[in-house]
């Protein structure tokens, strides 16, 4: 349906969303990196509670407490990254944020049945620190590359694609986790589940590493 909508907009004299925003290379690659970050965020927010509750046996409330420090870190960093963006620009923040996100994601690909809650708290907080340095600065950078008349169009498009990336990314990661668990070779279902999660986090880490390359050369 998005494809049909896109084709329709290209044929209208006054489109609802003007897709000429994609003529800006900075906007295109900023949007792609934001999509990668958002897919990484949403998929991890699904898998980590699954690990904590299904593997570690924690309650939903306690799982939420494990994730809360990361959310606090992101909330604190959002205004700070705005100041850093004004001072250093998007490229420095994007590369730094994506590097932290990649390191944190690969850190989550080393989970075991005995991994401590503190390890998950720290690694998740590192990831959220990195995401805070990506989403707002790159969204701003992408919109700044557009003519002022296209701001509303660019903002609507990047928000839509961010949601699409989150949903598709989650579907792909859960599918990968399920397949890896089924072919893990572990007789113990708990160990097989952890293996599947590790494979999924490693895949997200690779995707994030691709984002680093994009940020380095294009933002």
pLDDT tens for 123-169 read 999 999 999 999 888 888 889 889 888 888 999 999 999 999 989 88
Reduced DSSP (H G I as helix, E B as strand, rest coil) percent helix, strand, coil of the chain, to 5: 85, 0, 15
Integer angstrom CA distances of residue 219 from 42, 46, 52, 85, 194: 23, 29, 36, 13, 36
**What tokens appear for 87 in the block?**
């001072």
- The answer to whether 27 and 139 have CB atoms below 8 angstroms apart is no
Residue 216: predicted pLDDT: 82
Question: How confident is the prediction for the chain on average, in pLDDT?
Answer: 90
Q: Is the pLDDT of residue 218 over 80?
A: no
Task: Specify burial of residue 4 (Cβ count, 10 A radius: 0-12, 13-18, 19+).
Answer: exposed
The string of pLDDT tens digits covering residues 10-28 is: 888 888 888 888 888 889 9
- The answer to whether 28 and 22 have CB atoms below 8 angstroms apart is yes
- The answer to whether 67 and 49 have CB atoms below 8 angstroms apart is yes
């Amino acid at each position: 349906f998005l494809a049909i909508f896109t084709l329709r907009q290209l044929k209208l004299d006054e489109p609802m969303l003007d897709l000429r925003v994609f003529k800006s290379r900075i906007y295109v690659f900023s949007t792609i990196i934001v999509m990668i970050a958002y897919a990484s965020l949403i998929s991890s927010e699904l898998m980590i509670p699954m690990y904590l509750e299904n593997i570690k046996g924690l309650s939903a409330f306690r799982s939420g407490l494990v994730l809360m420090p990361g959310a606090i870190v992101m909330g604190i960093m959002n205004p700070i990254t705005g100041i850093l963006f004004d001072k250093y620009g998007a490229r420095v923040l994007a590369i730094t944020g994506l590097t932290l996100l990649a390191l944190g994601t690969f850190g989550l690909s080393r989970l075991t049945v005995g991994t401590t809650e503190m390890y998950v708290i720290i690694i998740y907080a590192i990831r959220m620190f990195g995401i805070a340095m990506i989403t707002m600065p790159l969204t701003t950078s992408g919109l700044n590359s557009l003519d002022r008349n296209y701001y509303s169009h660019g903002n609507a498009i990047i928000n839509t694609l961010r949601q699409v990336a989150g949903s598709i990314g989650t579907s792909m990661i859960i599918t990968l986790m399920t397949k890896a668990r089924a072919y893990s070779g572990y007789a113990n279902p708990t160990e097989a589940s952890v293996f599947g999660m590790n494979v999924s986090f490693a895949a997200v880490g690779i995707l994030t590493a691709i984002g680093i390359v994009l940020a380095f050369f294009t933002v």
